[in-house]
Structure 1
Amino acid sequence: MHARAVAVTTAALLGATVLSPTSEVRAAAAVERPLVVAHRGACAYAPENTLPAVDKAAGMGFSWMENDVQRTKDGELVVLHDDSLRRTTDVEKVFPGRAPWKVKDFTAAEIARLDAGSWFSPAYAGTRVPTLDQYMRRIEHNHEKLLLEIKNPELYPGIEQQTLKVLGRDGWLDHRHLAGRLIVQSFSADSVRTVHRLAPAVTTAFLGRPATADLKRYAGFTDMINPSYGTIRADYVSAVHKVTGPHGKRLKVLTWTVDDAAHARTVAGYRVDGIISDRPDVVRAALKDS
């Protein structure tokens, strides 16, 4: 996707597009092309949810990153998908007697000792699990944008307020970031509702596919409905688009996780607003050719 399409599509996603008379025809076509979000960074090409994955996606020309946040035993927020450290680190080797190796049972200092890259490739040996603060600083350095998922909030009471505190401390709750660089999402409707209550200006998203009859209820606290691509069709996307969210804009749809050209073209045909992908380059190429 070329630079103008990225800019126009991003603005359209967040309800901020302003079209000049001379650009309306050209921009209209670009608006129909979904935004492409790099899932856990460029996680098909670098270890997921790590700083190298963020850098890889930036190098490939993608501005939106998706990540996952969990909390350590001593209260530090870290960027990791699973509630266990087992799959993406060498925790079994470093701490062999501490199964099932849950994130919540390890301190931040202990997690900082782990290798979070070798499982993916020897080229990434020594990569660490980033704290949310470290991750945010890298995102800011790369001039990227963030789709942040609060993971397993039932395991971490108060994580919504803590996440917002980190975002605020790192400067991400100012108008510039809120207007087009930050979305907070969760599979938990209660968690999304809490984020909206604590920080009403933040753009929020619910991960899942509520029944069409329930969409108006969700629209009281979320700006987006983000379902798995296999659970939707064009009629559902259209139904979501007919509902107005808490910021006075129609609800948007970002779908996940689409990694091949055929499915990318299919969901684009449903008129989704964005596609979350492990292989964002494949999706981008498919949308260019469609």
Structure 2
Amino acid sequence: MHARAVAVTTTALLGAAALLSPAAPVQAAHSGAGPTVVAHRGASAYAPENTLAAVDKAAELGIRWVENDVQRTRDGELVVLHDDSLKRTTDVEEVFPGRAPWKVKDFTAAEIARLDAGSWFGDAYAGARVPTLEQFLNRVEHHHQKLLLEIKNPQLYPGIERQTLKVLANEGWLDRRHLSGRLIVQSFSADSVRAVHELKPAVKTGFLGTPPLSALPAYAAFTDQINPHHGSLSVGYVSAVQAFTGPHGGPMEVFTWTVDDADTARQVAAYGVDGIITNRPDVIRDAVRPAAVPAAR
């Protein structure tokens, strides 16, 4: 356990009461600039999620951070897709009608490359493809953006943490310039986040969820962020997380998801969150500019 975490454990546990009562706002790690705004699956309110078009749209809106989801094909290629099935966001039912339930892990990369991943969203995006992780990284790099990468369903893909890190390394994303502020790897699986930290300790990591306060000392050993759904947040919880020191020596951070309306964005910003993940990054950016955020009450 980190020394600072030991010192605040008692305080953090006592702070549980604050989760149910009003408290003063805390200063976020962004030091007055407002929370970091992250385009969820790219600017996915305006372009088909997890496609290169969604990255382009985020860049067009001036959004520096994008989030994506990584899964693995039958022949071992990493692709960017949220669901473990191809059904919702591609035309896989028409192209491969006899292959239900159309799981990503049951299709080769070449088969997935044939699919239309844009028409479901609108005719303007017909022909958009499911990108490989390499293609997605290259597009983010082209726009000089930053990446919050989620390892999705790691229980389905043994060893995906090592493979993801290998692709990141091959594409130049594990150099000092990227590691110092352009890359975070997160997952809903604590074991997956821990594996990333153990394989490449220099990589900043995030855990998706809301661990109990009593578990935060253990999480502080391997993750830099606790990233909960906005509905589970309070001033007290954000404050308790930020009181711990993460594995890279700084205060642990809180990036919350998925916030798409201005009122909720202002509320969680007043709680002191460090980042907000959203499908509508322009709306949230405008809502959480420092002058627009009232103090929490």
> After TM superposition, is the score higher than 0.5?
yes
Number of residue pairs aligned between Structure 1 and Structure 2: 264
Residue 55 of structure 2: aligned partner:
54
- Work out whether 1:29 is the aligned partner of 2:26: no
Q: Distance in 2 between matches of 1:280 and 1:135?
A: 19
Shift in Å at residue 74 of structure 1?
Answer: 0.2
> Residue type of the partner of 2:215?
D
The CA deviation string for residues 108-162 of structure 1, in whole angstroms up to 9 with x for no partner, is 0000000000000010000000000000011111100000000000000000000
Q: Distance in 2 between matches of 1:120 and 1:185?
A: 26
Q: Distance in 1 between matches of 2:71 and 2:109?
A: 11
- Work out whether 1:142 is the aligned partner of 2:111: no
Shift in Å at residue 89 of structure 1?
Answer: 0.1
Residue 156 of structure 2: aligned partner:
155
Q: TM-score, normalised by structure 1?
A: 0.90
Residue 220 of structure 2: aligned partner:
219
Residue 196 of structure 2: aligned partner:
195
Residue 64 of structure 1: aligned partner:
65
Residue 44 of structure 1: aligned partner:
45
Residue 9 of structure 2: aligned partner:
none
The CA deviation string for residues 201-242 of structure 1, in whole angstroms up to 9 with x for no partner, is 000000000001100100110000000000110100000011
Q: Distance in 1 between matches of 2:131 and 2:32?
A: 38
Residue 20 of structure 2: aligned partner:
none
Residue 125 of structure 2: aligned partner:
124
The CA deviation string for residues 78-114 of structure 1, in whole angstroms up to 9 with x for no partner, is 0000000000000000000000000000000000000
Q: Distance in 2 between matches of 1:73 and 1:287?
A: 42
Residue 80 of structure 2: aligned partner:
79
SS in 2 for 1:29: coil
Shift in Å at residue 29 of structure 1?
Answer: 3.1
Shift in Å at residue 248 of structure 1?
Answer: 1.0
Q: Distance in 2 between matches of 1:29 and 1:52?
A: 31
> Residue type of the partner of 1:121?
G
Percent identity of the aligned residues? 72
Q: Distance in 1 between matches of 2:32 and 2:244?
A: 23
The runs of at least 4 consecutive aligned structure 1 residues that moved more than 4 Å come to none
> Residue type of the partner of 2:32?
A
Residue 246 of structure 1: aligned partner:
247
Q: Which structure 2 residue ranges, 5 or more long, are not aligned? A: 1-28
Residue 237 of structure 2: aligned partner:
236
Residue 22 of structure 1: aligned partner:
none
Residue 6 of structure 1: aligned partner:
none
Q: TM-score, normalised by structure 2?
A: 0.88
> Residue type of the partner of 1:280?
P
Q: Distance in 2 between matches of 1:143 and 1:60?
A: 13
Residue 92 of structure 2: aligned partner:
91
Shift in Å at residue 166 of structure 1?
Answer: 0.2
SS in 2 for 1:252: coil
Shift in Å at residue 62 of structure 1?
Answer: 0.3
Q: Distance in 2 between matches of 1:174 and 1:210?
A: 31
Q: Which structure 1 residue ranges, 5 or more long, are not aligned? A: 1-11, 14-27
Q: Distance in 1 between matches of 2:35 and 2:284?
A: 10
> Residue type of the partner of 1:262?
D
Q: Distance in 1 between matches of 2:76 and 2:288?
A: 42
Q: Distance in 1 between matches of 2:54 and 2:193?
A: 26
> Residue type of the partner of 1:113?
R
Q: Distance in 1 between matches of 2:177 and 2:134?
A: 19
